[in-house]
Structure 1
Amino acid sequence: MKYQLLGKGLAVGGFAVMLSLVLTRISFLVDERAARQRDAVRSVQQSQAGAQTLVGPLLQRACSEEWDSEVGEGKERKRVVERRDFTLQAAPAELTVDSSLRSELRYRGLFKVNGYAGHFKLDASWASADAMKPRAEHVDGRLQCRPAVLWLGLSDVRGVREASATVAGKTRAVKPGTPNGELAQGFHVELPEDWPAASDSAALAAHVELELVGIARLALVPVGEATRWVTKSDWPHPSFGGRFLPTARDITDQGFDATWQVSALASAAPRQVLSGAKLCEPATALAEPGDETAYPAAVAAAAPECLDTLAVSFIDPVNPYVLSDRATKYGLLFVGLTFIAVALVEVLGRGRVRRVHPIQYALVGLALTLFFLLLLSLSEHLAFGIAYGIASAACVSLLGVYTAHMLGRRRDGITFGGAMALLYGLMYVLLQREQTALVIGSVGLFAAVAAVMWLTRGVDWYRMFDEALATAPTQAVPRAAAE
């Protein structure tokens, strides 16, 4: 055929398009498995507890004032009793939180959910009790108040295993719920009815201990005029978020220590809580894989309406679905580079190696695409590095053996297998080096193009194509037509 080379090129291109469709389907499968991972997180959250945010402790007291007033004119004039209800609130002058966290992993089938259990010690102090003393707005106003309440709000009260409170040196009974309408979940402690006395301006101190469990993320609202949070955990991969980063942190393979220090000069949280701001939940494990630490721009933009938080997320830096998705994005590039490598061997070894049929190109490309499916399936059962090693070793061995028989020389098979091993090694580096992946990938591609140009620098492409056409088998002419 005169157009044999053109037909071969079109066939290889068609197979490349088909393989890209296969890679797209594998990418959809990765997305599906990632969605099932998020479903597993939701399932654990529904049956245990979700991401936790602590607000408080704060003081609150419901009061009312009644006074007499006259309405109407002349004979219609009469005396009535009017009333106003109001709430007294006070944020602590100083708040110190000491927490110790230990990881508690949960599983739903193959899917792991990062959970934690923590012991919290919260020490809050108020400079005086004046903020809890009602003041009449009318000369003959009669004031009545319910007992003051010390309360602490939580985003998911199901995570409370145990709680205790000591106020003014006395242990108080802990009761469910809070008097705050925006932060109804939590618990509260009622103070004595006669506190504070009219002449009492003494400071107040409260100590709260709490056993709490949660999923993926822990946050604290810095409600004190000066807030200090010290936390320790055995989780080695924290991601700090919220509105403020730790002032000090130490991360090792055995866990992390972190300390936050925030004052009311930097955070509006004390005023936000007293004015009834909402607790806006940021994206956690329900976000896209690898995005557990996200603090949405919408939340940041709505700062006047949402409470400031200090936060830490318990993430997996080696998320198999994130890495599998990133690897699949390199799939078409892999197929293209491999086809170029096979064509290069065929061109440079012309006369010494067998010609490669388009179907053989397709089989090589199919083996490459199956690598990504193997990687996804194995990474659900094994550590990602081990899964990658097994999948790449299997594909390199298969391609090396097949290429040796395809080209007719064992040396070519070994060389091709070595080149594929180098390519898989480069992709593993790209997956691990997220910050430098672009520069490594671009340098690698430049090196590949440079190698092809150098190896083919002496090839006379016109002569090669002319020889291919000259040696192509011609169509036989029927005898009847010749006569």
Structure 2
Amino acid sequence: MEHQQKQQNKFGHWIKTSITARMLMVGFLVIILLIPLAYINSLITERSMRQQDVVNEINEKWGNEVLVYGPILKLPYKTYSETKTYNDKTKTYLTETTTHINYAYIFPESLDVTSNVNSKTLKRGNFESAVYTTGMDFKGFYTKPQLQLKDIKDEDIIWDKATVLIKTSNLKGIKNEMNIKLNDSSYTFETNFSDNPKNYSGYLDELESGFLKESDVPKYANINFNFSISYNGSKSIKVVPIGKTTTMHMSSNWADPSFTGNYLPDDETKEITKDGFKANWKVLHINRAFSQQYLNKIPNLNKFAFGTKFVVMVDEYQKSERSAKYGFLVIGLTFLVFFLIQTMSKINIHPFQYLMIGLALTMFYTLLVSISEHSDFLKAYLVAGISVVALITLYSKSILKTFKFPLFIGLSLTALYTFIYVIIQLENYALLVGSVGLFIILAIVMFVSRKIDWNNG
């Protein structure tokens, strides 16, 4: 019994005095603290998914993103097929001709779009989404279709059964009756129901007019058109450039636009201020990889769309998640500072005290997430950082019994949190700044630890 007690005392003395034992203990505690860090990352992911669910719910009720292209002239035409049957009585072949009705789809020669967007944010609880109301005006003209290039004769075109199509997402968000004016005639649109699954990246809803007067079809001369659509929408507005020459002018009170799609606005005319933006696009038929007319069906042209995204640019959860990824670094470097102080000053720090310091460091991230839901990220980061730095500094004062070491720890943590905040804000230079910063930290640690006698433990 006495021998066992001596062995335990010897082991306890080794833990207190051995540098190797302290290093193993600190490393073990760092690994243990990865467990609460993992839970914190799960919490951030859960809150981020909850935010996305709320945003989707807001957008679903207000109006989803808008993708629109049209008007498309739909021309029926006749094709013929022959069937030969053998007559046993007359010993001859009988030829029967069958007429089929097919459709040609003609895009306009010129298309001009003007979109005035009034944007705002809608909030539900701690979450918000960018929504808008827009009025879109379309005008342009058709020229006579060149269907003879497709081996279709003019006499086979059924001019008096022509209609006009508009393809769009977000039918629910349309706020006005849909009419198109061709020359001096006005035509009303109705929805074509389709069993195809409708989603933004695939099929679009289709609006079709009634039959056009033959005088309103470009049989002999150009036909002018114009129509307007008002939407309640969210996320983005996009247009497919189906005109041989397509122009779009967009203006909005949204200060953080993200221009998206295959074509960007002209830099010379683009204006972005704190009060909103103005942008102009011009797309020629030579700039896109599709034709001005199609037979039988229109291919999916969504990938050629261009426009603007209206999103809340500051994603607090994304920044919190990026910050939490540095949790291992913060805990490891803080423990390293305490370890060096303990080794160089011979002050004993109990494993429990290391554990309390580590838990205080993990609390930074829960404070950051919870406060950022009610404030902006900078204020949340300052409150969480100051709270944790002050707590650890005061706690280390009771451990280290001096003023200089706690002050050094407080300054080190302040510098570390500032360094991480700078990295979070950077995008293109985050890796470069992070690598240089870590190299400097490593150099400082190597310089400070050069006089430690590592053979003592």
8 Å Cα contact 1:174-1:187 kept in structure 2: no
8 Å Cα contact 1:65-1:143 kept in structure 2: no
Deviation of residue 442 (structure 1)?
A: 1.2
8 Å Cα contact 1:54-1:154 kept in structure 2: yes
What TM-score does the superposition give when structure 2 sets the normalisation length? 0.85
Deviation of residue 455 (structure 1)?
A: 2.3
* Corresponding residue to 2:32 among 18, 42, 64: 18
* Corresponding residue to 1:175 among 180, 189, 192: 189
Deviation of residue 273 (structure 1)?
A: 6.8
In structure 1, what is the equivalent of residue 325 of structure 2?
329
Write out per-residue CA displacement over residues 141-178 of structure 1, whole angstroms, 9 at most, x where no aligned residue: 87755532222211221111125545234362432225
Deviation of residue 253 (structure 1)?
A: 2.5
In structure 2, what is the equivalent of residue 308 of structure 1?
304
1:188 is the counterpart of 2:188: no
With 434-443 and 182-191 compared, the bigger mean Cα shift is at 182-191
Q: Distance in 2 between matches of 1:225 and 1:197?
A: 18
* Corresponding residue to 2:254 among 235, 238, 249: 235
Q: Could you tell me which amino acid in structure 2 is paired with residue 185 of structure 1?
A: D
In structure 1, what is the equivalent of residue 407 of structure 2?
414
8 Å Cα contact 1:165-1:171 kept in structure 2: no
Q: Could you tell me which amino acid in structure 2 is paired with residue 429 of structure 1?
A: V
8 Å Cα contact 2:262-2:305 kept in structure 1: yes
Deviation of residue 15 (structure 1)?
A: 1.5
In structure 2, what is the equivalent of residue 392 of structure 1?
385
8 Å Cα contact 1:129-1:203 kept in structure 2: no
Write out per-residue CA displacement over residues 311-356 of structure 1, whole angstroms, 9 at most, x where no aligned residue: 3222333201111111111000000010111122223334xxx421
SS in 1 for 2:22: helix
Correspondence 1:160-309 to 2 at 5 A: 160-170=174-184, 172-178=186-192, 185-190=205-210, 192-195=212-215, 200-248=219-267, 249-271=270-292, 275-278=297-300, 307-309=303-305
Correspondence 1:391-470 to 2 at 5 A: 391-462=384-455, 465=456
Deviation of residue 64 (structure 1)?
A: 4.1
Q: Distance in 2 between matches of 1:32 and 1:50?
A: 23
Q: Distance in 2 between matches of 1:273 and 1:231?
A: 29
Q: Relative to 1, partners in 2 of residues 1:446 and 1:136: Cα closer, same or farther, differing over 3 Å?
A: closer
Deviation of residue 130 (structure 1)?
A: 6.5
1:102 is the counterpart of 2:118: yes
8 Å Cα contact 1:242-1:308 kept in structure 2: yes
8 Å Cα contact 1:269-1:308 kept in structure 2: no
Q: Relative to 1, partners in 2 of residues 1:78 and 1:131: Cα closer, same or farther, differing over 3 Å?
A: closer
Count matched residues.
432
Q: Relative to 1, partners in 2 of residues 1:453 and 1:192: Cα closer, same or farther, differing over 3 Å?
A: closer
Unmatched tracts of structure 2, length 5 or more: 1-9, 197-201
8 Å Cα contact 2:244-2:285 kept in structure 1: yes
SS in 1 for 2:264: coil
In structure 2, what is the equivalent of residue 93 of structure 1?
109
With 308-317 and 95-104 compared, the bigger mean Cα shift is at 308-317
* Corresponding residue to 2:14 among 3, 14, 22: 3
Unmatched tracts of structure 1, length 5 or more: 281-306, 467-483
Q: Relative to 1, partners in 2 of residues 1:273 and 1:356: Cα closer, same or farther, differing over 3 Å?
A: farther
Q: Relative to 1, partners in 2 of residues 1:448 and 1:70: Cα closer, same or farther, differing over 3 Å?
A: closer
SS in 2 for 1:86: strand
Q: Give the share of equivalent positions with the same residue, in percent.
A: 26
Q: Distance in 2 between matches of 1:179 and 1:142?
A: 28
Q: Distance in 1 between matches of 2:448 and 2:151?
A: 91
Q: Distance in 1 between matches of 2:49 and 2:57?
A: 12
Q: Relative to 1, partners in 2 of residues 1:63 and 1:109: Cα closer, same or farther, differing over 3 Å?
A: farther
SS in 2 for 1:416: helix
- Structure with greater helix percent: 2
Write out per-residue CA displacement over residues 256-275 of structure 1, whole angstroms, 9 at most, x where no aligned residue: 22222111111024458765
Q: Could you tell me which amino acid in structure 2 is paired with residue 400 of structure 1?
A: T
SS in 2 for 1:341: helix
Q: Relative to 1, partners in 2 of residues 1:131 and 1:163: Cα closer, same or farther, differing over 3 Å?
A: farther
8 Å Cα contact 1:183-1:279 kept in structure 2: no
Deviation of residue 84 (structure 1)?
A: 0.9
SS in 1 for 2:213: coil
Correspondence 1:309-388 to 2 at 5 A: 309-350=305-346, 354-388=347-381
Q: Could you tell me which amino acid in structure 2 is paired with residue 34 of structure 1?
A: S
Q: Could you tell me which amino acid in structure 2 is paired with residue 13 of structure 1?
A: G
In structure 2, what is the equivalent of residue 297 of structure 1?
none
Q: Distance in 2 between matches of 1:308 and 1:368?
A: 49
8 Å Cα contact 1:53-1:155 kept in structure 2: yes
Q: Relative to 1, partners in 2 of residues 1:365 and 1:147: Cα closer, same or farther, differing over 3 Å?
A: same
C-alpha RMSD of matched pairs (Å): 3.1
Q: Distance in 2 between matches of 1:102 and 1:222?
A: 23
Write out per-residue CA displacement over residues 47-68 of structure 1, whole angstroms, 9 at most, x where no aligned residue: 3432211111111133446799
SS in 2 for 1:105: strand
In structure 1, what is the equivalent of residue 143 of structure 2?
127
In structure 2, what is the equivalent of residue 36 of structure 1?
50
SS in 2 for 1:195: helix
Correspondence 1:34-73 to 2 at 5 A: 34-64=48-78, 71-73=85-87
Q: Relative to 1, partners in 2 of residues 1:323 and 1:143: Cα closer, same or farther, differing over 3 Å?
A: closer
Q: Distance in 1 between matches of 2:389 and 2:123?
A: 34
Q: Could you tell me which amino acid in structure 2 is paired with residue 278 of structure 1?
A: N
What TM-score does the superposition give when structure 1 sets the normalisation length? 0.80
Q: Distance in 2 between matches of 1:356 and 1:384?
A: 35
SS in 2 for 1:216: strand
8 Å Cα contact 1:221-1:269 kept in structure 2: no
SS in 1 for 2:451: coil
Q: Relative to 1, partners in 2 of residues 1:137 and 1:444: Cα closer, same or farther, differing over 3 Å?
A: closer
1:156 is the counterpart of 2:167: no
